[in-house]
Amino acid sequence: MKLLLTKTIRAVFLMLLTVSTIGLNAQSDPSGESAVTRTFAITNATVIQAPGKELKGATVVIKNGLIQAVGTNVTVPKNAQVIDGKDMFVYAAFIDGLSNTGAKRPENMPRPNNLFSPDPPNDYAGITPEHSLLDQLDIESNTIASLRKEGFGVSHSVPFGRMLPGSGSIILLGDKKHADELVLSKDISMFTQFAGAPGAYPGNVLGIMAKWRNLYRNAENNKKHYDSYAQNPSGIERPERDRVTEAFFPVVTKQQSVMFDVSSVLEVQRAIRLQKDLGFKLMVGNVKQAWDLGQMFKDNGTGVFLSLDLPDAPKEAKGKDLDEMTEETKRLEARKVDFYKKYVGQAASLATSGVKFGFSSLDVTSTKVKANLLTMIENGLSETDALAALTTNAAGILGIDKITGTVETGKIANIMVSNAPYFTKDSQIKFMFVDGDKYDFEIKEKSAAGNGNRAGSAAAGNDPIVGTWSYNFETPQGASTGKMTFAKDGGTYTGSMTSNDGAPDANMQEIVFANGTLSFIFMIDAGGQSVELVVSGTVTGNQYDAEVTVSAFNFSTPMSATKDGQ
Amino acid sequence: MKKNILILTLILFTGFVAKAQVKKGDVLIKNGTVLTITKGTLDNTDVLIKDGKISRIGKNLKAPNGVQEVDATGKFIMPGIIDAHSHIALSSVNEGTSQVTAEVNMGDVIDPFDVSIYRALAGGVTSTHALHGSANVIGGESETLKLRYGTSNPEELKFEDAPRTIKFALGENPTRGGRSRGIQPSSRMGVEAMLRNSFNDAIAYRSTWAAYKADKNPRKVAPEYDLRMETLVDILDGKVLVHCHSYRADEIYMLLKVFTDFGIKKLTFQHANEAYKVASELAEFGASASVFADWWAYKLEVYWSTAYNATILTRNGVLTSINSDSGELIRHLFHEAAKTQKYGDLSDDEALSLITLNPAKQLGIDNRVGSIEVGKDADIAIFEGHPLSVYAIPVMTFVDGVKYFDRANDIADQRIYVNPEESVENITIFNRLDEDRCMEEGVVSFEALFSNKK
């Protein structure tokens, strides 16, 4: 007995030793990439602690991943890296209410042989609420860095899928070594959307609404059954395990909210109808058309995340085009402008009705976030309400307001630092702190006019885009991958795209690279019809994040590319 | 705690009020020819509408303070037209992946933005029966609508407290759906088998739940809940009116037998092109029919059709209506009703009943609409010319006393929501300027005569 005890102690000791050795190895940092210190002080800055609460000439101390002190009379710790905050503006990092940030889209499940369309397997039907974002979370995903670059510190991210893809988690938009380290708050929502199964039940919104009611009502009954069996199994039929119904239990007990991706005004009202029937806690995200729904949101206490995506402004006709317009066409064009105003004024009108909403980055190209926010402000949203939507309101709806959303002592160090008041046209983000880790961004000088096709004076030898890139974008037919090659000839870029699926090569046209933004167009043959694809996005090092737009079909999709090793 | 209950009551009460909050109008329609449907035709008569209801019908009525008057001198006032078979104002029509989908509900997919709603109003229509499609043997529950155009809230289009209805379908449509997916039914026999199997399942489901509810054991375990079966049980219990897509006499007769076997009584056959062959059987069962005036031959199973169908059914005592099933035909259902005077000599009241009172009865809303009577909803259409005349022109349409269509103030662009990214093109059907120039020269060439620029 004594011998056994000694052995155990020795084993535990050895184990501890091993663990600490691993720790030492990590600290020795062979790659040299670790930060020298995790203690920072931003001094003499304008600190916007919360919407409408501003401190001038203040210092923010960050230590151990937390905000340790904020104020005008704060001692800077000796081991702190000091950042001179003169002319800088410190905000709480933004909070994204709904996106797929960090998630890797799984392969579409092939159609099973002998599929019985009225009752397909749950995986094919898209009924997988037991899945979690964590199953799809990928630390390598470039979406994390691109959203962080726009000022966001956390994102409520949900998995890809159909009707019930799984639960969403709040993730930190930092560079971490393991996916688990990204997770701030796990499985906070059950994510759902009106996405039917291809050729199987539920095929559209009709079946989805019915299926939702059926799943929920059964989960209510099953929860009672499970509970009473757990209390005393004697004499009760053993409940059969069912992962789908079990995933509904926290929703039924209102411990977990339902997050509905509902962009249109009709979809939003369908989600609310379902909630009224069943009684779960509801959040709606990616909302684009809710200018008429302020009162409804308030009556129902719905958590609302508006889309950061906005429609393109209708083009104003001039000269010959204007002369050729009929009166009717002019009236129709005027109505487009009226409705454009409604879309860009949505946030302002909901703020006026007293709805506390956040924002969702789901459908927006990340590089358009700030421009779209400024458009909303031009159309009546106050800067205070905009900031509240990006920080405190979002934190409140997601239940993380004790952790983040303000620059206050004790909150996690999720901070954005810009070189001018953020809601001004020329402001740029200088630093991001996520979970206490610092990320630097280069402040770009304002571009000289007339960059055009010229690539400036950069020597082709170390030109940021010349070379071969591997690209990847989603099409309705699946992922499209291939290579794109850029060359530079006398200051003008040329390039071609090669597709891995055997489609003919396409020459890129109108290649423009200026201020870190690369755009070009290329044509593809779609069944005898030539279709123009417009690609535009930002280059960060060897990473290209862009959006492909096919205006002929009113379709756009994100594209990413990585420069092949040099 | 008491305070909480009070607050809860208040919340529930406000919620209830919010649900019922649709616009109600007050208006005095003066000096028209009132086609009451149930109480004859009244010349030079006024109709007073208060708070959305018809409050008085008579001569020389005075408008209460602030109530607007509409002069209907020389015009015809009739009850709003009711279309018992329509798919307008819906975002989806079929959940076609399964052949029995009693659990789906058209109330979930109302599209208040459909411009067809306005076009229907412009044809004097005030209510439609928004039906599930006919791809399934048992489709979904349907929704009876009032065409309150102009809202973004789908709930406001619902006909409050209208009875529940459901769509069934027989014949080529569901069997084609079944064959294309390799599932039952692939024949008319399969359709009957699916119906019988579904109702037998529902009976078993009902007794399982009845046994559960009767069980006094506090630790009892609930059986599986199945929304599909819940709806089927409600059909068996007479709580849902069945509207069945059908054409051939044999399949109509089949369904009568199935419903007799299961004791289901509330049944309307939709389309029912061959109903005239089994008119007396329908009358004996008490089933009604909602038919086309004269559509036929668009597929094999509608070959043996007749424009006398509505008349034969009416003369045999079958409650009959005429429907559109179309966003175009719905605009002139009054013409469709008039065809029964050409084919069958129905009286004016009988012909008008086909598009007013009779569909109201088939939908179980005849206590509210379908005729002009004191106490009924003020769903009213005003016509220039008698509505059964080929020269009839609808000029105003009211729902709950609120004017939703006025020919004198008919704005061209009736879209409620507009996509700001949609492209607008100049649409020119022909170029008047070119034509004028052609005439200027005073020469009509052979080419110009046959040019498509006319």
Q: Which residues of B touch A206 (CB under 8 A)?
A: 92, 94-95, 101, 104-106, 108-109, 132, 140
Please indicate, yes or no, whether residues B90 and B17 belong to a single structural domain of this protein.
no
pTM for this prediction:
0.83
Does B150 map to a domain? yes
Higher pLDDT: A303 or A478? It is A303
pLDDT mean across residues, chain B = 91
The nearest CA of chain A is from the CA of B147 a distance in Å of 17
Instruction: Report the pLDDT value the prediction gives residue B438, as an integer from 0 to 100.
Output: 41
Q: Which residues of B touch A332 (CB under 8 A)?
A: 413, 424
Please indicate, yes or no, whether residues B70 and B86 belong to a single structural domain of this protein.
no
Please indicate, yes or no, whether residues B6 and B148 belong to a single structural domain of this protein.
no
Crossing angle, helix A243-252 and helix A205-231, to 10 degrees? 90
Those residues with Cβ within 8 angstroms of residue B232's Cβ, 6 or more apart along the chain or in another chain = B102, B138, B198, B199, B201, B202, B205
Higher pLDDT: A153 or A18? It is A153
What is the tens place of the pLDDT at every residue in A186-208?
999 999 999 999 999 999 999 99
Is A449 a residue whose pLDDT tops 60? no
Q: Which residues of B touch A202 (CB under 8 A)?
A: 95, 97
Does B170 map to a domain? yes
Domain CATH code at residue B390? 2.30.40.10
Q: What is the ipTM of this complex?
A: 0.90
Instruction: Report the pLDDT value the prediction gives residue A32, as an integer from 0 to 100.
Output: 72
pLDDT, average across residues A70-82 = 95
Instruction: Report the pLDDT value the prediction gives residue A21, as an integer from 0 to 100.
Output: 41
Instruction: Report the pLDDT value the prediction gives residue B11, as an integer from 0 to 100.
Output: 42
Which has the closest alpha carbon to B242: B308, B286, B209, B283?
B286
Higher pLDDT: A455 or A244? It is A244
3-state secondary structure A320-362: HHHHHCCHHHHHHHHHHHHHHHHHHHHHHHHHHCCCCEEEECC
What is the tens place of the pLDDT at every residue in A451-477?
433 333 344 457 888 888 999 887 766
Does B420 map to a domain? no
Instruction: Kindly identify which residue of chain B lies nearest to residue A234, measuring between CA atoms.
Output: B219
Instruction: Kindly identify which residue of chain B lies nearest to residue A270, measuring between CA atoms.
Output: B108
Instruction: Report the pLDDT value the prediction gives residue B441, as an integer from 0 to 100.
Output: 38
H/E stretch holding A273 reads: helix A265-278
Please indicate, yes or no, whether residues B207 and B344 belong to a single structural domain of this protein.
yes
Collapse the DSSP code of A118 into the 3-class scheme (helix H, G, I; strand E, B; otherwise coil) and give the result.
coil
Least confidently predicted of A534-538, B220-224, B379-383: A534-538
Query: Do residues B85 and B103 touch, judged by C-beta distance below 8 A?
Result: no
The nearest CA of chain B is from the CA of A241 a distance in Å of 14
Cα(A145)–Cα(A143) distance, integer angstroms:
6
Instruction: Report the pLDDT value the prediction gives residue A548, as an integer from 0 to 100.
Output: 86
Does B445 map to a domain? no
- Kindly determine whether residue A235 and residue B95, on different chains, have CB atoms separated by under 8 Å: no
- Kindly determine whether residue B18 and residue A299, on different chains, have CB atoms separated by under 8 Å: yes
The nearest CA of chain A is from the CA of B55 a distance in Å of 33
Please indicate, yes or no, whether residues B308 and B396 belong to a single structural domain of this protein.
no
Interface probe, candidates B16, B98, B184, chain A, greatest A C-beta count within 10 A? B98
Please indicate, yes or no, whether residues B28 and B48 belong to a single structural domain of this protein.
yes
Please indicate, yes or no, whether residues B363 and B380 belong to a single structural domain of this protein.
no
Q: Which amino acid is at A195?
A: A
- Kindly determine whether residue B413 and residue A332, on different chains, have CB atoms separated by under 8 Å: yes
Give the count of beta carbons closer than 10 Å to the beta carbon of residue A135: 15
Does B94 map to a domain? yes
- Kindly determine whether residue A214 and residue B413, on different chains, have CB atoms separated by under 8 Å: no
Those residues with Cβ within 8 angstroms of residue B71's Cβ, 6 or more apart along the chain or in another chain = B30, B31
Does B413 map to a domain? no
* Backbone torsions φ then ψ of B325, nearest 5 degrees: 55, 25
Query: Do residues A219 and A243 touch, judged by C-beta distance below 8 A?
Result: no
- Smallest Cβ distance to B152: which of A232, A265, A312? A265
Please indicate, yes or no, whether residues B324 and B385 belong to a single structural domain of this protein.
no
Q: What percentage of chain B carries pLDDT values higher than 90?
A: 86
Those residues with Cβ within 8 angstroms of residue A7's Cβ, 6 or more apart along the chain or in another chain = none
Query: Do residues A357 and A389 touch, judged by C-beta distance below 8 A?
Result: yes
Range of the domain at B208: 81-369
Please indicate, yes or no, whether residues B314 and B376 belong to a single structural domain of this protein.
no
The nearest CA of chain B is from the CA of A433 a distance in Å of 38
Please indicate, yes or no, whether residues B110 and B72 belong to a single structural domain of this protein.
no
- Kindly determine whether residue A324 and residue B426, on different chains, have CB atoms separated by under 8 Å: yes
Cα(B118)–Cα(B384) distance, integer angstroms:
19
Q: Which residues of B touch A325 (CB under 8 A)?
A: 426
Dihedral sign for Cα atoms in the order B287, B293, B295, B300: positive
pLDDT classification of A26: cutoffs 50, 70, 90: very low
Burial of A72 (0-12, 13-18, 19+ CB in 10 A): exposed
Cα(B79)–Cα(B67) distance, integer angstroms:
21
Higher pLDDT: B198 or A553? It is B198
pLDDT, average across residues B15-28 = 72
Higher pLDDT: B380 or B445? It is B380
Q: Which residues of B touch A266 (CB under 8 A)?
A: 91, 111-113, 154
pLDDT mean across residues, chain A = 89
Does B424 map to a domain? no
Residue with tokens 């199964």: A197
Domain CATH code at residue B238? 3.20.20.140
H/E stretch holding A533 reads: strand A529-540
Which has the closest alpha carbon to B379: B18, B20, B25?
B25
Structural Rg of chain B based on CA atoms = 25
What is the tens place of the pLDDT at every residue in B266-296?
999 999 999 999 999 999 999 999 999 999 9
Residue B61 token pair: 């009525």
- Kindly determine whether residue B421 and residue A554, on different chains, have CB atoms separated by under 8 Å: yes
Instruction: Report the pLDDT value the prediction gives residue A550, as an integer from 0 to 100.
Output: 77
Cα(A7)–Cα(A314) distance, integer angstroms:
78
pLDDT, average across residues A246-266 = 98
- Kindly determine whether residue B15 and residue A335, on different chains, have CB atoms separated by under 8 Å: no
Instruction: Report the pLDDT value the prediction gives residue B444, as an integer from 0 to 100.
Output: 40
Q: What percentage of chain A carries pLDDT values higher than 90?
A: 67
Higher pLDDT: A23 or A333? It is A333
Query: Do residues B243 and B290 touch, judged by C-beta distance below 8 A?
Result: yes
pLDDT classification of A28: cutoffs 50, 70, 90: low
Nearest 5°: CA angle at B451, between B446 and B452? 165
- Kindly determine whether residue A236 and residue B418, on different chains, have CB atoms separated by under 8 Å: no
- Kindly determine whether residue A339 and residue B418, on different chains, have CB atoms separated by under 8 Å: yes
Instruction: Kindly identify which residue of chain B lies nearest to residue A315, measuring between CA atoms.
Output: B421
Please indicate, yes or no, whether residues B246 and B230 belong to a single structural domain of this protein.
yes
Please indicate, yes or no, whether residues B272 and B288 belong to a single structural domain of this protein.
yes
pLDDT, average across residues B337-346 = 97
pLDDT, average across residues A270-298 = 97
The nearest CA of chain A is from the CA of B143 a distance in Å of 13
Is A285 a residue whose pLDDT tops 60? yes
Instruction: Report the pLDDT value the prediction gives residue A542, as an integer from 0 to 100.
Output: 87
Looking at the structure of chain B, the number of domains it has is 2
pLDDT, average across residues A288-316 = 95
What is the tens place of the pLDDT at every residue in A125-151?
999 999 999 999 999 999 999 999 999
Last residue of a domain, one of B369, B400, B421: B369
Least confidently predicted of A323-337, B37-51, B195-209, B430-444: B430-444
Residue A327 token pair: 């009166």
Is B9 a residue whose pLDDT tops 60? no
Does B44 map to a domain? yes
Is B440 a residue whose pLDDT tops 60? no
- Kindly determine whether residue B424 and residue A213, on different chains, have CB atoms separated by under 8 Å: no
- Smallest Cβ distance to A209: which of B15, B108, B419? B108
In B131-271, where do the E strands start and end? 138-146, 164-169, 240-246, 267-271
pLDDT, average across residues A75-92 = 96
* Backbone torsions φ then ψ of B179, nearest 5 degrees: -65, -40
A-B contacts (CB, under 8 Å): 143
The nearest CA of chain B is from the CA of A150 a distance in Å of 26
The nearest CA of chain B is from the CA of A294 a distance in Å of 12
Is A231 a residue whose pLDDT tops 80? yes
**What are chain A's domains?**
97-108+116-293+302-308+361-395 (3.20.20.140), 460-563 (2.40.128.120)
Query: Do residues A171 and A180 touch, judged by C-beta distance below 8 A?
Result: no
The nearest CA of chain A is from the CA of B413 a distance in Å of 8
Q: How many residues does chain B have?
A: 454
Crossing angle, helix A327-352 and helix A383-390, to 10 degrees? 70
Is A24 a residue whose pLDDT tops 70? no
Residue A320 token pair: 């010959």
Is B420 a residue whose pLDDT tops 60? yes
